[in-house]
Amino acid sequence: MNARLRDTADLLARLIGYPTVSADSNLAMISDLAARLEDCGARVDLFQDAGGTKANLFATLGPDEPDGLLLSGHSDVVPVADQDWHSDPFILREDNDRLYGRGSCDMKGFIAAATVMAQDHPVKTWRRPMHFCFTYDEEVGCLGARALTPELRRRGIRPAMAIIGEPTSMRVIEGHKGCCEYTVRFSGLEGHGSAPQKGVNAAEIAVRYVQALMELRGALMLRAPADSRFEPPWSTLNLGRISGGVAHNVIAGKAEVEWEMRPVQESDATFVKSELERIVQRDLLPGMKAIHPDTDIVTEVIGEVVGLEVMPENAARDLVASLLGANGADVVSFGTEAGLFQQLGIAVTVCGPGSIEQAHKPDEFISLQQLDICLDMLARLGQSTALTGGEG
């Protein structure tokens, strides 16, 4: 193992040791990364959330101007509860050229590689800025990036290009679906199970809502664009959780449905939301309120994250493809923060080490080979005359 790869594996071990599950703080990890980047000479800003327990990191090497390239990754990881791991998920385990641990591929491997790249060039004279962005709460609705991008716009910070280092097996990705998540709460009227006509069964209303969702799933399949490159080619709906009621013999007074939508096109999202609103207002609420006026159906938007739109001209895609020697670019169905940065007018591509097939699973891992390919790409980036004064 070469020294650069060893340094990256060692830093990854440290980052995995921070249990940055989305429900918990990421401040210790972010403070560690901030100190490392400051040691490289970077200008570092931390943007805390309202509760003061989480922060986005934004750092810049090179000139202070609205240009350059952004390397971005999220610091949070998904939970490990009820997963069957063969070792402690927050202690890196190296075995057979694989590095195991929660977040190893999604996506602390890329964050470690990007930070080592910064440490490799601490005094380089950058002709254009090199930015580093590490966010919080991507896994629960891209909350950190949604808070950060308006602040970057306000400050006039707009890199020309961005690489989002999600695990793509180092394939160049130029487009992905959006991701919209919702929790729908149904408030009915409890009563004795022997007289269901005297109450409003929130669980039954929730089932009717879910039935409407499943019918819309079929309608979305028929709306798939003829030239869609996604797999599947249509916008998808997924029912994540349904709950309600307290006992066999009690009319359910409360119920919840959690679901998500991954639209191929914005018109599909508009179609689904308008159809559901029509069903709620016409078919569900009137009957509920006829029995009891305080019944209700309330939808909470957990997150509506735009997709990454395929663009005919994309400097970030073309740059990364040239560095990797790749022919063309792909699209994926999983979501990232890329679309939020694209909305700032930035050319964006998604490319990072590790496979999405390992993300969120027990015994998550990243291979040393994937990390090495990423490090080589970043080293080439650090020598690119597009970003530096041409010195190697």
Question: Is the distance from CB of 249 to CB of 194 less than 8 angstroms?
Answer: yes
138 catalytic? Reply is yes
The single residue of 7, 76, 106, 337 carrying the catalytic annotation is 76
The single residue of 106, 137, 138, 174 carrying the catalytic annotation is 138
Question: Is the distance from CB of 158 to CB of 152 less than 8 angstroms?
Answer: yes
Dist. CA 104–CA 92, nearest whole Å = 8
Phi, psi of 322 (to 5 degrees): -70, -35
For the chain, how far is it from start to end, CA to CA, in angstroms?
A: 23
Of 352, 265, 351, 345, the closest CA to residue 313 belongs to 345
95 catalytic? Reply is no
Question: Is the distance from CB of 58 to CB of 45 less than 8 angstroms?
Answer: yes
Question: Is the distance from CB of 301 to CB of 269 less than 8 angstroms?
Answer: no
Dist. CA 91–CA 343, nearest whole Å = 37
| Active site members | 76, 138
